[in-house]
C-alpha cells in the first residue's frame, strides 16, 4: 500500500542516528528551545550543498543545487523516539548596558534519542536531469543534520517507484493518509526556486541574505509519531507504520 504520492520515482536514503538530535523550531526563543522531531527539507538540501562544496568546490555545489533546490523531500522517522527534557547553562545577551555584554543564564532544551533508521526520500519526478549517482555519492559524505553534533551514519540507498505509507505528509498536499500522525510541526524548505540569486542567498560565502517567507518557507507537516508515554524527564513516541510492537494504522 502506498501514499497518495504515487506514480513518482523516489530515491530513498537510509541513515542511522549515532548521537542525540536537536534542531530548534524556528519560532522557539533562545531560552525555550523546543526541538523538531526530524531534519527539515531545507537542512537536508544544505547538507548536500555542504558535501558538494567539500568534494568538488563551488562548481559542483552549483550543479547539485540546481538538481535539488526544488526537489520534494519526505521523511520516515525511526521506529521510536524519546524526547529528553533538560535545562542547560548558556550565555545570553545582557540587557544591562553597564554590565558584561553576555551573562550566564538557564535555558530549556530538548534532545531526540532515536531507535531505528531515518529514511529520507527525494522525489525524482520533474527532475529528469538529476544526477542520481552523484547524489548517492554525496549522501555518503553527509554525517550531520540539524544542529552541529547531531550525527548520522549513511547506510544505503535505493530507488523505488512509489512511496509507502509512513512518510511525512504536508498540509499543502491535496490529500493524504494521516491516520497515526499525531505530530504536526513547521518544517522549512527552499522558496522561490526560480530566483536567479537563490544560490548566492544560501551560500555562506556570499554577502546576500536569506529572506524568510521568500527564500525560506515553512510548511506544516504531519509526522507519523504518536505519544506512547510521558514523564517529567522525557516523552516517548512510536512510529506505528514501522514499529512492530505498535498497532499499524494500515491494518486497523
pLDDT at 251: 41
- Residue 16, pLDDT above cutoff 60: yes
Using alpha carbons, select from 75, 68, 93, 10 the residue that is nearest to residue 36.
Answer: 75
- Residue 4, pLDDT above cutoff 50: no
The model's pLDDT over 30-41, given as tens digits with 9 standing for 90+, comes to 777 789 999 999
pLDDT at 128: 60
Q: Which of 20-29, 94-103, 218-227 has the lowest mean pLDDT?
A: 94-103
* Distance, C-alpha 106 to centroid of its chain: 27
Contact 158, 121 (CB under 8 A): no
- Residue 250, pLDDT above cutoff 80: no
Rounded-to-integer distance, Cα 167 and Cα 121, Å = 8
- Residue 20, pLDDT above cutoff 90: yes
- Residue 6, pLDDT above cutoff 80: no
The residues pairing with 103 across neighbouring beta strands, listed in sequence order, are 92
Kindly report the number of other CB atoms within 10 A of residue 46's CB atom.
18
The model's pLDDT over 111-151, given as tens digits with 9 standing for 90+, comes to 999 999 999 999 988 666 678 899 999 999 999 998 778 99
- The more confident residue out of 202 and 98 is 202
Q: Which of 24-28, 54-58, 158-162, 232-236 has the lowest mean pLDDT?
A: 24-28
- The more confident residue out of 247 and 173 is 173
The model's pLDDT over 180-226, given as tens digits with 9 standing for 90+, comes to 899 999 999 998 888 888 988 888 888 888 888 888 999 999 999 99
The model's pLDDT over 155-172, given as tens digits with 9 standing for 90+, comes to 999 999 989 999 999 998
- Residue 3, pLDDT above cutoff 60: no
pLDDT at 176: 76
Q: Which of 5-19, 71-85, 132-146, 230-244 has the lowest mean pLDDT?
A: 5-19
pLDDT at 97: 74
Task: Read off the DSSP letter of residue 48.
Answer: H
Domains in the chain, start-ordered, CATH in brackets?
A: 10-83+111-238 (3.30.70)
Using alpha carbons, select from 11, 12, 23 the residue that is nearest to residue 145.
Answer: 23
- Residue 23, pLDDT above cutoff 50: yes
Amino acid at each position: 500500500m502506498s501514499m497518495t504520492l504515487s506514480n513518482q520515482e523516489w530515491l530513498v536514503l537510509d541513515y542511522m542516528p549515532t548521537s542525540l538530535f536537536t534542531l530548534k523550531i524556528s519560532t522557539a526563543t533562545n531560552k525555550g528551545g523546543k526541538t523538531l522531531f526530524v531534519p527539515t527539507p531545507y537542512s537536508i538540501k544544505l547538507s548536500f550543498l555542504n558535501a558538494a562544496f567539500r568534494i568538488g568546490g563551488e562548481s559542483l555545489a552549483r550543479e547539485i543545487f540546481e538538481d535539488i533546490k526544488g526537489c520534494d523531500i519526505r521523511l520516515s522517522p525511526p521506529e521510536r523516539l524519546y524526547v529528553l527534557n533538560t535545562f542547560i547553562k548558556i550565555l545570553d545577551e545582557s540587557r544591562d548596558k553597564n554590565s558584561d555584554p553576555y551573562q550566564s543564564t538557564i535555558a530549556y532544551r530538548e534532545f531526540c534519542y532515536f531507535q531505528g533508521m531515518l529514511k529520507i526520500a527525494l522525489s525524482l519526478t520533474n527532475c529528469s536531469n538529476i544526477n542520481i549517482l552523484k547524489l548517492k555519492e554525496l549522501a555518503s559524505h553527509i554525517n550531520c543534520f540539524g544542529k552541529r553534533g547531531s550525527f548520522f551514519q549513511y547506510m544505503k540507498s535505493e530507488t523505488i517507484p512509489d512511496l509507502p505509507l509512513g512518510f511525512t505528509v504536508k498540509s499543502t498536499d491535496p490529500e493524504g493518509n494521516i491516520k497515526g500522525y499525531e505530530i504536526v510541526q513547521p518544517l522549512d524548505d527552499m522558496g522561490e526556486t526560480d530566483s536567479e540569486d537563490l544560490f548566492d542567498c544560501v551560500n555562506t560565502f556570499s554577502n546576500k541574505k536569506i529572506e524568510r517567507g521568500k527564500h525560506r518557507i515553512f510548511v506544516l507537516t504531519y509526522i507519523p509519531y504518536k505519544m506512547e508515554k510521558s514523564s517529567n524527564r522525557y516523552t516517548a513516541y512510536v512510529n506505528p507504520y514501522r514499529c512492530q510492537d505498535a498497532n499499524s494504522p494500515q491494518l486497523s
